[in-house]
Amino acid sequence: MSSAAEARAHRPRGHVRHYAGLLTPGAGAAVPALLERNRAQRLERLLRTAAGGAARRTAGRRRMRALVAAPGARMRWRSVPAPAPPGPEQAIVHPLAASTCDVDCPLALGAMNLALPAHLGHECVAEVLAVGERVRTVKPGERVVVPFQISCGCCSRCRAGCPGSCLSVPPLSAFGMGVGGGHFGGAFSDELAVPYADAMLVPLPRGVAPAAAASVSDNVADAYRHVAPHLPALLDADADARVLIVAGLSRRPLLSASVALYAGQIALALGARNVCLVDSRAQVRAHAERLGLTALKPRELRGQAPAQLVVHSSADPLRPALAHTAADGVCTSNGGLHRSTDIPLIQMYIRRCTLHVGIPHARTNMPGALELIARGKLRPERVTTSTAPFDEAPRALREHCLAGATKTVLVR
């Protein structure tokens, strides 16, 4: 596909279409879930951020750069107050390598149900600058992977290994999502305040480059949870078990394809011999083939045998993924981008298929993914399509969005 055709496939939305999109039923359906607990805390953070914005020019605090995205992929550095010295459980970190998430492109184009402008970026490897007095597991100068979700590590959900459901913060509390994520700042910045350092930060294994591991914060961990909990048992039952990864089915897939490509790499690393990726984008199929996957166009899905593990990392309809899930197989989907979807329940009932849907618990899946990287079995850098200096973030990220690129990594 030519770059001109790619640009047409990713049209930026201006302010009017972006804000109109926030009033659609899909966006409206998310609001009650966002407000189902810790409402007062969410409101307080919103008001504190607004007050901080108003006092921006008069405050005497140190300042730093933070990348702000407005509808239409308008990116710019903004001078904002640097984080205050860390509280007892907190850390201040300095992102060394930060990468785009698969939602950053539609988010910055104004096509997601998340309000802009927003401080962008939620995947990074960072250097610890300062820690609070109760922090035990990391020290200044160490390199860490920062999970995108905010979690306390000590509530009942965190202790159960479900930090994405942490009860100490409002639902969907995350870096780089602006008002929707609760105003925790973005990783495309000079400094980031990590609220619960011991619970969240994971030391970068020795010998792993920051740029290779930046996406472990979210997309690599996401791919890992799609594959690692399910594949070993399926391969035990059938060493030739098929893995099908559904990335883009429509002419204009909304999401970038890095989770899909990482999932393919992880499936191969864990011993799958038969891994197929479906995408309508020629460059994604070519990339998949370079990684050793079999690549299919959407129309070639018809007639394919069902797969024991189906990964649906896509904003396109779920039904084709479920229809291609084998008997006693598993379909796992990010799934959160549909208000409702068409599910072939009778087919699933007869085949006893299991469907998993949800945002990943990133922190829980990061150590397993990092171990594969440290052992050289997973190489996320092979999914990276562009690397740019941190200082050039506005240009590099705008180009990433307009080109519909897969993964851009900013490095210092």
Sign of the Cα torsion 373, 375, 376, 377 reads negative
Query: Could you tell me which stretch among 37-45, 101-109, 179-187, 384-392 binds Zn ion (CB under 5 A)?
Result: 101-109
Identify which of 341, 321, 320 has the alpha carbon closest to the alpha carbon of residue 331: 321
Query: Could you tell me which stretch among 26-34, 98-106, 256-264, 343-351 binds Zn ion (CB under 5 A)?
Result: 98-106
Considering the complex, state which of residue 89 and residue 218 has its C-beta at the smaller distance from Zn ion: 218
Other residues' Cβ atoms within 10 Å of the Cβ of residue 173: 25
Other residues' Cβ atoms within 10 Å of the Cβ of residue 290: 12
Minimum CB–partner distance for residue 287 and Zn ion (Å): 19
Considering the complex, state which of residue 166 and residue 257 has its C-beta at the smaller distance from Zn ion: 166
Sign of the Cα torsion 337, 193, 119, 77 reads negative
Minimum CB–partner distance for residue 108 and Zn ion (Å): 12
Query: Could you tell me which stretch among 25-33, 76-84, 96-104, 245-253 binds Zn ion (CB under 5 A)?
Result: 96-104
**Structure tokens that stand for 332 in this block:** 């796992």
User: Which letter, b or e, does each residue of 233-265 get, where b requires 16 or more Cβ atoms within 10 Å of its Cβ?
Assistant: ebbeeeeebbbbbbbbbeeebbbbbbbbbbbbb
Identify which of 238, 317, 246 has the alpha carbon closest to the alpha carbon of residue 273: 238
Minimum CB–partner distance for residue 152 and Zn ion (Å): 4
Minimum CB–partner distance for residue 359 and Zn ion (Å): 9
**Structure tokens that stand for 167 in this block:** 């009860």
Among 9, 115, 155, 374, which residue interacts with Zn ion (rule: CB under 5 A)? 155
Residues numbered 212-251 forming contacts with Zn ion, rule: CB under 5 A: 218
- Interface pattern 134-153 for Zn ion (x via CB under 5 A): -----------------xx-
53 contact partners, CB below 8 Å, separation of at least 6: none
Considering the complex, state which of residue 151 and residue 314 has its C-beta at the smaller distance from Zn ion: 151
Minimum CB–partner distance for residue 154 and Zn ion (Å): 6
Residues numbered 158-177 forming contacts with Zn ion, rule: CB under 5 A: 158, 166, 168
The count of residues interacting with Zn ion (CB under 5 A) is: 8
Residue 79 CB-density burial (10 A; 0-12 exposed, 13-18 middle, 19+ buried)? exposed
Minimum CB–partner distance for residue 409 and Zn ion (Å): 14
Number of helices followed by number of strands (H, E) in the chain: 17, 16
User: Which letter, b or e, does each residue of 302-320 get, where b requires 16 or more Cβ atoms within 10 Å of its Cβ?
Assistant: eeeebbbbbbbbbbbebeb
385 sits near Zn ion (criterion: CB under 5 A): no
Considering the complex, state which of residue 163 and residue 320 has its C-beta at the smaller distance from Zn ion: 163
Minimum CB–partner distance for residue 151 and Zn ion (Å): 5
User: Which residues in this chain contact Zn ion in the complex, by CB under 5 A?
Assistant: 101, 151-152, 155, 158, 166, 168, 218
